Amino acid sequence: MRIGIVKERREHERRVAASPETVKRFKAMGLEPVIERGAGTAAAIFDEAYEQAGARLVDGPDEPLAADILLKVQRPTEDELARSRPGQLLVGMLDPYTNRDQVRTYADKGLTAFAMELLPRITRAQPMDVLSSQANLAGYRAVVEVMAAYSRVLPMMMTAAGTVTPAKVFVVGAGVAGLQAIATAKRMGAVVTATDVRPAAKEEIESLGAKFVGFIPKDAATAGGYARPLTPEEQAEQQKIVAEHIKSQDIVVTTALLPGRPAPRIVTAAMVASMRPGSVLFDMAAESGGNIEGSRPGEVVEVGGVKIIGARNLPSRLAPVASALYARNLLNFVQLLISKDGKLVIPFEDELIKGTLLTHEGKIVHPNFQSAS
């Protein structure tokens, strides 16, 4: 069986879906990795490394796109879908909530499509959890970028000329990305506070040496571990606390996302206006609608001397390590689908398969997307 990897063609994407390490593992499983030349160049993985690992390199995307299993970072382009074939397995971050029409196309093309971001949040899924592996890097990168934009320093500095006070950093959302942002800002010497509405978040925030700010509504976490949408009354209470706290902060990093919904608006224009000139806000949810009023993906907006940075594909800015982690996630998932003798055997009753399978044999099978039928 052939397993195909192509160069990612969507804008701002530098990652690749396989590494030399995972190529070796696929070979050991009896699969034949077929890789488009240059697929890993943007992630500092060159063709020679793939060849040494045992992959077959080909010119152009046609052969990998027709492989038995196609591994992708982002969802296929229309051109890539046109070259796919019935019965093919497609595995990647397919963003089905935002692209429901494309889910219908997967079914029409006869693809067996797996959306990796839909993995159930259970212990057994952790080695395949693409959201966690990529969000962890995004949280780190967010702090690196906000430091570069901040015109002062994060740690306290004591000099003969006087003492420089540490920056105050406020992190909104304590999921994987938020916790890494907290940890990174603490390592850099900032005074860190954070908020989240999930019951487990307060303890996690404090375990990293940050101070918890805010309140936790009753039953604020879903069964999958995400925050549920707040009621209007809860939103008002949260905004009141955030508005008061944000006035004294130098840096704000927002990470709040809700699966299948626009990002919740947490920081208003009035809150931004209350911050002192030179402050910086970083919106990690800018591509999903934004937590911060006025943020725009990939842009820096300045309002009254306060910078608002809208994130765009942060893991891609760390493409070598992001690709290595993502490739391992995919390897662990593909192992569920392959028997010991290298044959395709999909365990349809496995909860990891049921959670991620979008389409099969011309039908949309995931219950959350059958309205696209």
Catalytic sites, residue numbers: 121, 126, 129, 132, 226
Query: Closest Cα partner for 210 from 174, 235, 241, 244?
Result: 174
Query: Closest Cα partner for 93 from 76, 69, 110?
Result: 76
What is the distance between the alpha carbons of residues 164 and 246, in angstroms, rounded to a whole number? 21
Q: Which residues contact 149 (CB under 8 A, 6 or more apart)?
A: 280, 282, 300, 307, 309
φ/ψ bin of 21: left (φ > 0), alpha (ψ from -120 to 50), beta (otherwise): alpha
Tokens of 34: 């077929």
Tokens of 10: 């969507």
- Backbone φ and ψ for 76, nearest 5 degrees, come out as -65, 150
Going by their DSSP bridges, the two strands 191-195 and 168-172 should be labelled as parallel
Half-sphere exposure of 330 (CA within 13 A, CB side): 31
